[in-house]
Amino acid sequence: MEQLSLFYEAAPMPPMAPDPPELDPVLDIASWTDEEVERFAWGLLERTLEQLFAPQAGPATRRDILEWVQEEGSHALSFEGLVRGLGLDPDAMREAIFEAIHLVDDGWAASA
């Protein structure tokens, strides 16, 4: 089984949009282009992982993120749906996230 590492980026991440797409008052994301949806998804995943591994992240934030990562479901904003939509394997990504958590936790414990 191929392992996914969070420390290796297989392909460059698309640049973030300088401005969010124009939305109508009802937040009609159906009018977003595929590129805008992809940038949003990459941005959401990147920001969430940054928060998970931020030293200042509190236990509640970390718990909420890990619950989202572990939650089963394939709707658009679920972890699984988001990761699949980006062409990644959700199970491999989960494994890489938890492996990285152990590495970070071990590093923090060793430096204490």
Q: What pLDDT, on a 0 to 100 scale, did the predictor assign at position 26?
A: 45
Is 99 a domain residue?
yes
The predicted model scores a pTM of 0.66
Q: What pLDDT, on a 0 to 100 scale, did the predictor assign at position 29?
A: 60
Is 101 a domain residue?
yes
Q: What pLDDT, on a 0 to 100 scale, did the predictor assign at position 97?
A: 94
Is 1 a domain residue?
no
Is 49 a domain residue?
yes
- Please give the structure tokens belonging to residue 59: 């236990």
Q: What pLDDT, on a 0 to 100 scale, did the predictor assign at position 27?
A: 58
According to DSSP H, which parts of the chain are helical?
34-53, 59-70, 79-85, 90-111
Place of tokens 């699949």: 84
Work out how many domains the chain is built from and give that number: 1
Task: Collapse the DSSP code of 30 into the 3-class scheme (helix H, G, I; strand E, B; otherwise coil) and give the result.
Answer: helix
Is 44 a domain residue?
yes
Is 8 a domain residue?
no
pLDDT < 70 regions, the chain = 1-30, 106-112
Q: What pLDDT, on a 0 to 100 scale, did the predictor assign at position 24?
A: 55
Tell me the residue range of the domain where 70 lies.
34-111
Is 67 a domain residue?
yes
Residue 80: count other Cβ atoms within 10 Å of its Cβ: 20
